[in-house]
Amino acid sequence: MAKAKKEKQSFTFKTKFFIYLIIWLGAMLPLLGILYLRYIVTDEEDLPSVAMLENPPELLATDILADDGETSLGKFWKINRTSVTYNEISPYVISALISTEDERYQDHSGIDAKAVGRALANMGQAGGASTISQQLAKLIFTLAQRDKERAAALLDDPEKESKREVSGLEGRLYEKVQENIIALRLEEKYTKEEIITMYLNQFDFLYNAVGIASASRVYFNCKPKDLTKEQAAMLVGMCKNPSFYNPHSFNVRNYVKRYANYNNIAEEDVTEDQARSLFVKDSLRAVNRRNTVLDLWRKNSEKGNEALTATIDSDEERDSLQNLNIVTDYQRVDHKEGIATYFRETLRKEVQDVLSAKDQEGNYVYAKPDGTPFNIYEDGLKIYTTINADLQKHAEYAVHKHLSETLQNEFTKNNKRTKHFPFSNRLTKDQIDNIVNSAMKRSERYKLLKSKGLSHGQIVKEFNEPTEMTVFSWKGDIDTIMSPLDSILYYKNFLQAGMISIQPQTGFVKAWVGGTDLNHFAYDHVKQGKRQVGSTIKPFVYSAAMRFGVVTKCSTFPDIAYCVDVNDQNNPDKLKSWCPGNSGADLTGKPITVGHGIANSMNNITVAVMSKMGGTAGPQAVAKLMEDLNITLRKEDVVPAMCLGVMDLSLFELVAAQATFVNKGIYNAPTILLRIEDRNGNTIYEAQPNSKEAMSEELAYATLSLMKGVVDRGTGASLRGTYRPWGGITYPTAGKTGTTQNNSDGWFMGLTPDLATGVWVGAEDRGVHFRSMQWGQGARMALPIYGYYMQKVYKDPKIKISKEDFEMPINYQNSVYNCSGENNNDGSGGTTNEDPDLDLF
């Protein structure tokens, strides 16, 4: 009996032992699996380095800053991410995130055992177990994998991703183990503040908003430190699923199409109520998620969670926040959006040239510690520019106002009766076909079809097929259907413009408008484009003549036609005469002063001045002056006809040269880039001034004195009066209008003591132009833009611009450059045009 009892007890003990052993092994199995994955499967080299946090691959955008060092003009990026410090993030964001994602954030060392137990016990139904450290680790693991794939691609070895491949459940467990290891390392290496900051800087909130700084800007148009409680709760709510709980997506989705797809019906059969039902569901999803965050935030506040730096102090406060509608101020982020878009494209090229420069040994001049070059898309650089954000906005406003409200309509009206609209009747059908064919071959559509192996004939057929497209209009983009060929003709009718403002004393570019819309017109008309300069060359001609000693402001010439004698290249012993027409102007024979001649842009007086310098010496003197102003003319341009501006120059070089008149004869090379800093604030590159004396201070002032007459009583006089909407500019201004052959180009140069500004207006092709002078002259095409610009500039209290006159040199000699004084009558012997805006070439 006793033996049987002993055997029974022994059996019971063995049974219990085996049961406990099985339970213990079952409980330890996950740990054993983790140990297996950690020490058997995982190679240390496969673990992402924590150090990569300090230099994360491809996730840090380069910021482009205005001249105040703070205002962002835009970014260069592959992924729009900007890092901010802990103190630059609203405490509301920190507290909402901890309350929602990791309420014991301050108590664990990377892994929350209690949360893990709860997740296992409830099979994940009671919330996840990932801490903020683990979520950051997951981001790092993803970054590391991306970095490996990129490196493998560079080595042309896509299989070389890790030493051991795992997949399925084992693969996910493998990743989780790595994430846990990284989380523990994070906690060892960084403070809690640093970890939560890195997480918020890394998270992708969608719509090109990577990191809390970009998200604040994109969704609420503010800095992260200025987020309100409800805004912070909204962004934190998105951390669960930024697509599902997005506060903007439901505003842009096509719910008619979505409902049709969900229910397998035609889009035309979807009712407004059906589509709206999906819209409401999506919008409520974002609201409900935000309110969940507010609930959790309130509960943690009530419990006195010491990790919170900001609290919701009552149920009433929570309720009031939950009752608020979601109000976003969505900002589209794109390389081609924002201000100074054309400037940024030019800046991109200049910065890349700087960063790719090498020394004689082949090493990068500006390199990282490891010798590799900086990358403007990945390395989080700060680029400090010369652009003034307020001047830039005023310049863009002025271009848009004149072209969209007045000039484009007049242009279309003026040309609508041409035989082959919008082209001039002067062009033959073959010439027009060549222009259109050239434009077609330059288009991205043509290049894409060519890359697919289509012949030219097949591509032309494609270009004649109507297709859906979005085209530019001054009232906003238009979705339409037209053939690509018709779209080319449509775009040829649009006037283009370029505008630049330079600070004469430094050469710093303060505003740059390269065109009307970078999305549709990529060509930059400030630096890239070169067109005939017309009468804007005349100040240089008169300046050269005064330096040559042959004229003063009050020198007179009869109002007659003039010729210039030049050597006959075919017979050096003989002279031949160049006798230009006078654009239909009535010649009076009366004495005309040089001052009156330039003020009213009289071609015959300019030719007379060139003739007095000599048919050979005159062009050489002008070319030498231009060379001193960093403009090198072609040999074929150095002829007497140069005095009427037949050469092609860019607005960039022309304004920089004219700025020298303001800067007392000192030429400053235009500067757009001040310095480049790395992500840690270390200066990589700093621009050096490039200046030289191009003319005497007295000569520069004398030329300014002539140019003031253009605005005070000549072709630019509409700036002074109020009879034009762009007028009313009463402060001291020197200027010069310019119009080229067939009214193809309109120019205006405006100089003040603080700003040298130039404007060009014309069509993309010279064969598309005004048919008449009423609007087809510089005083109508370009000058109004300057007027609208300066109206804004003078009224802007943030812009400290001088309203004083140009400073006269101490040693200015009236006997050399003038008559008896600056305020003398010009002695023209004639009267100013009743319409002072007329500009003949």
* pLDDT averages per 10-residue partition of the chain, 841 residues: 54 62 54 46 50 53 92 80 86 94 83 56 51 81 57 47 45 64 79 89 84 89 93 92 84 75 82 80 85 94 92 94 88 74 93 92 90 87 96 97 95 90 92 92 90 91 91 90 93 96 98 92 92 96 93 90 79 76 74 92 93 93 96 94 94 97 97 94 93 95 95 95 94 96 94 98 93 91 98 96 93 71 41 41 44
**Token code pair at residue 769:** 């132009």
**Strand 591-593 vs strand 648-649: parallel, antiparallel, or unpaired?**
unpaired
10 and 62 assigned to the same domain: no
Which residue matches tokens 């999305």?
519
Q: Is residue 300 part of a domain?
A: yes
The number of folded domains in the chain is: 4
Residues 472 and 512 occupy one common structural domain: no
C-alpha atoms less than 13 angstroms from C-alpha of 417 in its C-beta half-sphere: 6
**Residue 451: exposure state from Cβ atoms within 10 A (0-12, 13-18, ≥19):** exposed
Q: Which domain holds residue 664?
A: 496-672+691-817
Query: Which pairing describes strands 62-65 and 382-385: parallel, antiparallel, or unpaired?
Result: parallel
* Cβ within 8 Å of residue 449, ≥6 positions away: 458, 459, 462
Same-domain status, 306 and 434: no
Segment (H or E) for 319: helix 315-322
pLDDT at 518: 86
* Matching residue, tokens 């050269």: 544
Q: Are residues 619 and 712 in the same domain?
A: yes
Task: Find the distance separating the first CA and the last CA of the chain, reported in whole Å.
Answer: 131
61 and 182 assigned to the same domain = yes
Q: Are residues 181 and 88 in the same domain?
A: yes
pTM: 0.76
The residue whose two tokens read 């060092």 is 69
Angle at 695 between CA 691 and CA 698, to 5 degrees: 125
Q: Mark whether 176 and 316 lie in a shared domain.
A: yes
d(CA 422, CA 650): 25
My answer on whether 613 and 699 are in the same domain is yes
Nearest Cα neighbor of 138 from 198, 89, 98 is 198
In whole angstroms, what is the distance from residue 64 CA to residue 368 CA?
A: 20
**Which of 729, 692, 684, 732 shows the shortest CA–CA distance to 708?**
732
The pLDDT score that the predictor gives to residue 320 is: 94
Last residue of a domain, one of 257, 289, 322: 322
pLDDT confidence of residue 824: 42
Q: Which long-range contacts (CB under 8 A, 24 or more apart) does 134-138 make?
A: 134/110, 134/179, 134/180, 134/183, 135/101, 135/199, 135/239, 136/183, 136/186, 136/195, 136/198, 136/199, 136/202, 137/110, 137/178, 137/179, 137/180, 137/181, 137/182, 137/183, 137/186, 138/175, 138/179
In a domain, 828, yes or no: no
- DSSP structure class, residue 387: -
Token output for 151: 């490196």
CATH number at residue 266: 1.10.3810.10
Q: Note whether 469 and 528 are same-domain residues.
A: no
Q: Is residue 408 part of a domain?
A: no
Confidence at residue 128, expressed as pLDDT on a 0 to 100 scale: 52
Residue 367 in domain: no
Q: Is 139 inside a domain boundary?
A: yes
Can you give the CATH number for the domain in which 547 is found?
3.40.710.10
Closest CA to 639 of 616, 621, 612: 616
- Residues 760 and 762: their CA atoms lie apart, in Å, by 7
Shared-domain flag, residues 438 and 505: no
* Residue 154, pLDDT score: 45
* CA–CA separation, 105 and 132 (whole Å): 7
pLDDT at 163: 41
Report yes or no on 365 lying in a domain. no
Per-position DSSP letters for 355-375, written without gaps between them: HT-B-TTS-BSSB-TTSPBP-
Q: Is residue 713 part of a domain?
A: yes
Q: Based on the domain organization, do 487 and 539 belong to the same domain? A: no
Mode of pairing for the β-strands spanning 531-532 and 648-649: antiparallel
Tell me, yes or no, whether 58 and 25 share the same domain: no
d(CA 183, CA 129): 13
What would you report as the CA-atom Rg of the chain, rounded to the nearest whole angstrom? 36
Q: Which of 474, 492, 510 is the C-terminal boundary of a domain?
A: 492
Task: Say whether the peptide bond before residue 422 is cis (omega within 30 degrees of 0).
Answer: yes
Residue 681 domain-assigned? no
